Amino acid sequence: MAIIEYLDDIKPRPRLLPEDARERAYARSLALMTIADAHPLVVPRVRNHLAKAFGADAKAIETWGKHWTTEGLATYERLLGAPRAGAFALGAEPGLAISALPARSWRAFPQA
């Protein structure tokens, strides 16, 4: 997240964060929900701990990952609220609010 804010500071076009302070805070809240709330529950360190500490097998660990990924994406959608004009979370351009979603989507739909 810090690198996106840095890039926005040194090269403000295209904007990666909204210009309006309230919209910037909203964009940060969406990004933080993804990278600080949902993502830490499915990283390899946590998955390995589930196996070692609780004896979880591969199926249980995958179920855990899918559950928390689905919860995280559902929470993101609730926070996002009504769709806005444009193809991205907060409008016509990609930015901070959508930057962490590709990793979440990959976890939700792993390759066979």
Please say whether the beta carbons of 104 and 39 come within 8 A.
yes
Q: What is the pLDDT of residues 93-110, one digit of tens each?
A: 888 888 877 765 655 555
7-15: long-range contacts (C-beta < 8 A, 24 or more apart)?
Answer: 8/96, 14/93, 15/93, 15/95
The pTM is what? 0.77
- Chain-wide mean pLDDT for the chain? 85
The C-alpha atoms of residue 41 and residue 15 are separated, in whole angstroms, by: 30
Q: What is the pLDDT of residues 9-67, one digit of tens each?
A: 999 888 889 989 998 999 999 888 888 888 888 889 999 999 999 999 999 999 998 89
Which pLDDT belongs to residue 106? 58
